[in-house]
Amino acid sequence: MMIVYAVLIFCLLIFVHELGHFVSAKAVGIRVNEFALGMGPQLIHFKRGETEYSLRAFPIGGYCKMEGEDEESKDASAFNNKAFPAKALVVVAGSVMNLILAILILSAVLFAVGMPTNTVKELSPDLPAVKAGMLPGDQIVQIEDQVIREWNDIIDAIGNSKEPTLTVVAERDGERLSFEVDVAEAEDGRKIIGITPDYAKSPGKALIYGTQSTVEMGVKMVEIIGQLITGEVSTDNLTGPVGIVYMVGDTAKLGWIYLAQLTALISLNLAIVNMLPFPALDGGRLLFLIIRIFTGKTISDETEGKIHFVGLMLLFGLMIYITFQDVGRFIL
């Protein structure tokens, strides 16, 4: 099942990525010769219109083969004959789709679990809130001078407080009550008063927090990539397909919520890495498009195709190195 889960996740992420290229190419009138999921020998293939659709043997990649993408073509619908905005849209569409998928997955998880509200669900015995007279169902609307609208406001108000006692205002049965609540300290050093929130399902809030979480994870990933480039983080910390399979297996044991979060993380990682300005990656293709605005045909389509091929071979070499590293780490 570990391998099955991993294959399903790989196929989903690759399909979504290539679908972004495919849909955007069709939208701007670029001819797509083949849309493939997987690599290697064809298992299933059929043709609709100008495009051949295929499922290939190894679920380790996929591609959207466009006319004139890596070679010269005189076809008016070829990639190389389209204007810069159309080509740029097609190049970035794959990563955009992976970014959107990460947001949607995290938002779905947050909606399924529910969002913490400013309504008290439970109170911990022997902690300040219950001693002050608060009850389950109380809706906290103010702490000291801070207006409370959501659970994070409560955490901030308590965590940032410098006073040993807080004035907490809550609504109960339509009446506003004021409580003088002492501040306690948890084992990890956090300031608490001994309450847990009630949860509510809100699609709008789930989408907002899902987007915020995706952005925060993306910023962290970019920081780590920068540290890899500067040498602050060792390449020994990189993980490839073998490592991901084991991570998926371990995560699946914890439940579907954790597996969904890992899928979102991998999707976001795919989006960011693909936009790095390296040959064969979407970011490298975008870089060449920008260079060609100033240089014209100085770099031919054939030459660019060869550069991307060299970049692809280097990426394969890196993948082989990481795979051997993962085998030693996770198997041997």
| Pair of tokens at residue 236 | 């020994």
Q: Which of 103, 66, 84 is nearest to 271 (CA)?
A: 103
**Secondary structure (3-state) at 167:** strand
Residue type, 243: G
| Pair of tokens at residue 209 | 């927090």
CA-atom Rg of the chain in angstroms:
26
| Pair of tokens at residue 303 | 């030459």
**Secondary structure (3-state) at 293:** helix
Half-sphere exposure of 18 (CA within 13 A, CB side): 23
Which of the following is catalytic: 18, 67, 69, 304? Answer: 18
227: enclosing H helix or E strand: helix 203-230
150 noted as active-site residue: no
**Secondary structure (3-state) at 198:** strand
Q: Active-site residue numbers?
A: 18
